[in-house]
A and B are shown apart, each in its own frame.
Chain A
């Protein structure tokens, strides 16, 4: 089984070829044993059951699998799970709280920034990182920052509005 076996921090013999990886996912410390060839996206989806991260292409173009690695967007299909050892990963499940949406999530819903929802997690995480770095982005900033994430449904216009809405919300609150 190469998807990664989630475990605790207890010392346990690793199977041949598997590596123990300790990472923090959405604030929670996780220790897993994985084959080196396992992609981070697959560890998150299958090993850790965080299925909000989607896969859309094989060539690092679509950005559907975007997660935050130590706060910066990365394409989790283009990283090995072993490379996340010692790092912090934020997935869409780590946005907001059970009771309250992150302003970016709220903005996407309010401005109709999603249709099928498949690219949405990646879009929102990229947007989150942008707003953390640039609290007052222009439309051009937003379009540029999102240019590594493909959306097929919306035409982006409402996605851009959603991010600007969130920025506005965060500045005024």
Chain B
């Protein structure tokens, strides 16, 4: 009997074609907007045109008169049901519909429910809202000014615009280290506000059945179980009477984690009307009101020895949270995992302080393709590394090499408390440098410079903590960050797997089956995967922060192993031997010493329903809840080369090399897809994609004419390489990967452009590196800040 070929059955390492594609390429996906229910009505939102204003009156009478309008909701009507405000995922409150004043442009003021969305929109146009304008606040400097208006006057005890304060590290040790430093390198920069902007906007269909009192909500959520808990708390409905269904999702990137006013309003509308109510957000609604990422300011210093060793790092971060603290992040960490900065380097010691600021801007601070602010952490880290190398007069690759953790340093505790457990950093860096031809590039660069051409090379090396929890440290609103899987093997050996995570394009239906194939030898094609329905899926925290594979993926391994354990008992029964004498090979159990006497996993499954031993519970299924012992620590080395046109400030990417160590790759094709997608967002953020505000608080970047996503034309080609260091604690050695490239990528592009300007004294141009900013820096030989408000001269 020959052993099963794991690749052939679609197991670990198989670049198996995606199961999802069969419906997507035929246009037969099932996204929220595709769902049509009998009697369904449509909801549109009227938004505030002003950033900061008191509402003096709202007249909805003309809207009610439009034929086909069924309901108009105002903040006052929400307040009557105690629903005008809702909790955010960061222990703040957020207005569902404004009652007292509006606090950002685009804020939800009224909703209209009608027979179709055209009429609902007519209804919104017919509402007259009168505002008394107030002074808008668009950056942290304005926010903390002595004469700043109090934005959150709704909150008892709130005396200024401070949202939170936080610190970590060892202040005293850091001060001592700085006193010893030969060189202190300083950096100030802004990571601009950016929006995840999946191509599918947010939306929901709330369907409250007056007969059964059951509420079903089909919606664009990356975390359906969290939403169920939130709805139970906000709407005061019993949790068993709430069913959240997350159908196909057209991209999430963190945007679809929070609870949004539109969801809540559609739920109330359905409860009031007893009919299904669909809300599909438009693009401006998505960009102007839902969770953005970043908008963080950094002031940092690095203490260095003249031989290039880092002695300490000191950082202060200010975050612009907008009008409400609406991050989705672990309770303990007010500024997410910013303190994961420098985890891949031996930095001695460090100290980080942080402060959050309310402003009159859209609420958020969500983890945009990111584990809770690690994107900012790694960008700051790698920008500081480049600046420090320049200050030391050292080669930037060499400066990284001597400070990276060595292979024998693991497990290593960082000065900020993380335990980094594995990696081969030096190998990754060397592979990247060789792939790009580093030494030759430096020669070419110097030669080109003599002819007036500005070439640059940028490096970004980083490890980041992916896959929250463990539950000791990670929770959202007190709910521990574990995940789950439930596996039921049918009598013919086919199986259904239900998981607490929720794919938004990551391909879970494909890769989850591969884990089962690896653990049980059941071909991946024989496993159907279901996610996103809270009535059927086991409780899980959802998909974001690259946590699906580290947490839910591990749960799948564990549940499959539980099933395998029972199959062993069934095999002992079938083979008439003791359980201790049963050996496992992929897909088959056999008698030790007599390999020809065996039972396949399918035969064991049949026995579970037709021939179980006396006293054994029938069936072959189980559930596993997995609480990881640590985060996973993928490592990456990204290197970009660019050419800057000094006349226009336009820069082009010449080459981009990516070396990713995300541990064992379940489906290499899918992993590479994640990396290329992430690199594209990295390129977008470094070159064009951002949101800013003018002095009146008008958002620039509230539609795709100004919020720029790169097309196939601008997006560079990516050269991918891999190193595999298995995760020591994950059941199959896998690590998270979805966000690595988006987290580590931006610094490679940005460092490359700065390298091209290395003779000009320009230390920092804030992202995105728009041509005018690059040109301005070249003109003046000075840094260029991206802090709003944007100029208007």
What residue in chain A is nearest B15 (Cβ atoms)? A112
A52 vs B31: C-alpha distance in the bound complex, in angstroms? 10
A148 vs B182: C-alpha distance in the bound complex, in angstroms? 53
Residue in B703, B704, B712 whose CB lies within 8 Å of A146: B712
Asked if B26 lies at the interface with its beta carbon under 8 angstroms from chain A, I say: yes
Q: A114-B21, A147-B713 are in contact. Are A2 and B251 (CB under 8 A)?
A: no
What residue in chain A is nearest B678 (Cβ atoms)? A155
Q: Which of A46, A118, A121, A158 has the most CB of B within 10 A?
A: A118
List the B side residues contacting A108 at CB < 8 Å.
21, 25
Residue in A93, A109, A112, A146 whose CB lies within 8 Å of B711: A146
Asked if A5 lies at the interface with its beta carbon under 8 angstroms from chain B, I say: no
- Quick check: A58 and B703 within 8 Å, CB to CB? yes
Q: Which of B21, B27, B703, B718 has the most CB of A within 10 A?
A: B27
- Quick check: A152 and B198 within 8 Å, CB to CB? yes
Residues of B404-461 at the interface with A, using a CB-CB cut-off of 8 Å, are none
- Quick check: A59 and B250 within 8 Å, CB to CB? no
A38 vs B117: C-alpha distance in the bound complex, in angstroms? 11
What residue in chain A is nearest B369 (Cβ atoms)? A152
Q: A115-B505, A157-B676, A157-B717 are in contact. Are A51 and B27 (CB under 8 A)?
A: yes
Residue in A51, A57, A114, A156 whose CB lies within 8 Å of B283: A57
Q: A147-B713, A155-B715 are in contact. Are A116 and B249 (CB under 8 A)?
A: yes
List the B side residues contacting A156 at CB < 8 Å.
680, 711-712, 715
- By DSSP majority rule, is chain A's interface helix, strand, loop, or mixed? loop
Asked if A11 lies at the interface with its beta carbon under 8 angstroms from chain B, I say: no
- Quick check: B248 and A117 within 8 Å, CB to CB? yes
- Quick check: A147 and B704 within 8 Å, CB to CB? no
Asked if A96 lies at the interface with its beta carbon under 8 angstroms from chain B, I say: yes
Residue in B21, B29, B282 whose CB lies within 8 Å of A109: B21
Q: Which of B116, B672, B718 has the most CB of A within 10 A?
A: B116
List the B side residues contacting A148 at CB < 8 Å.
711
What residue in chain A is nearest B252 (Cβ atoms)? A116
Output the least CB separation between B331 and chain A (Å).
30
A interface size (C-beta, 8 A):
60
Q: A59-B705, A157-B718 are in contact. Are A118 and B31 (CB under 8 A)?
A: yes
List the B side residues contacting A64 at CB < 8 Å.
199
- Quick check: B27 and A121 within 8 Å, CB to CB? yes
List the B side residues contacting A1 at CB < 8 Å.
115-116
- Mark contacts of B648-676 with chain A using CB atoms, 8 A cut-off: 1 yes-contact digit, 0 otherwise: 00000000000000000000011011001
List the A side residues contacting B669 at CB < 8 Å.
112
Asked if B619 lies at the interface with its beta carbon under 8 angstroms from chain A, I say: no
List the A side residues contacting B715 at CB < 8 Å.
155-157
- Quick check: B25 and A109 within 8 Å, CB to CB? yes
- By DSSP majority rule, is chain B's interface helix, strand, loop, or mixed? loop
Asked if A69 lies at the interface with its beta carbon under 8 angstroms from chain B, I say: no
List the B side residues contacting A118 at CB < 8 Å.
29, 31, 198-200, 250-251, 505
Output the least CB separation between B197 and chain A (Å).
7
Output the least CB separation between B658 and chain A (Å).
11
Q: A152-B198, A155-B677 are in contact. Are A91 and B709 (CB under 8 A)?
A: no
What residue in chain A is nearest B249 (Cβ atoms)? A116
Q: A59-B703, A158-B673 are in contact. Are A152 and B29 (CB under 8 A)?
A: no
List the B side residues contacting A22 at CB < 8 Å.
none
Residues of A77-119 at the interface with B, using a CB-CB cut-off of 8 Å, are 91-93, 95-96, 101, 105-106, 108-110, 112, 114-119
Q: A2-B116, A112-B673 are in contact. Are A152 and B704 (CB under 8 A)?
A: no
Q: A153-B677, A155-B677 are in contact. Are A115 and B506 (CB under 8 A)?
A: yes
List the A side residues contacting B116 at CB < 8 Å.
1-3
A49 vs B676: C-alpha distance in the bound complex, in angstroms? 34
- Quick check: B20 and A117 within 8 Å, CB to CB? yes
- Chain B residues at the A interface, C-beta cutoff of 8 Å: 17-18, 20-29, 31, 33-34, 36, 115-116, 118-119, 197-201, 248-251, 253, 282-284, 504-507, 669-670, 672-673, 676-681, 703-705, 709, 711-713, 715, 717-718
Q: Please name 9 further chain A to chain B contacts, defined as beta carbons within 8 Å, in addition to the given A109-B21, A156-B712, sorted by A numbering.
A: A56-B200, A57-B704, A64-B199, A108-B25, A109-B25, A118-B199, A147-B712, A152-B197, A153-B505
Would you give 24 A-B contacts (Cβ < 8 Å), ordered by A? A51-B34, A57-B703, A61-B704, A64-B199, A101-B25, A109-B21, A110-B17, A112-B18, A112-B669, A112-B670, A115-B505, A115-B506, A115-B507, A116-B199, A117-B23, A118-B31, A120-B24, A144-B712, A144-B713, A152-B197, A152-B253, A153-B251, A153-B677, A157-B715
